[in-house]
Amino acid sequence: MDADPILSFHLDLNALRLLHRVVSDAYTNWPGGPPEEQVSLDRMRMQLYAGLMDVTLSLESEARDG
């Protein structure tokens, strides 16, 4: 296989928050090892944060617009 597979997940807001927190903790407390691991953790952390912000803005927009 030439490229890594890409997966999609369906998470509720609480699961997304928890996953972001776990990945953020793993990034912050990274014990060392191959630098690619830390880069991957940072990328995942940022993607999860972007998802959280997207959901938060959508919920705020729905609440505002009724």
What per-residue string of b and e applies to 13-32 under the rule 16 or more CB within 10 Å gives b?
eeebeebbeebbeebeeeee
For 6, list phi and psi in degrees, rounded to 5.
Answer: -110, 130
Q: Per the confidence metrics, is the pTM higher than 0.75?
A: yes
- Rounded Cα distance, 49 and 45, in Å: 6
**DSSP at 48:** H
The tens digit of pLDDT for each residue in 2-46 reads: 788 988 989 999 999 999 999 999 999 999 999 999 999 999 999
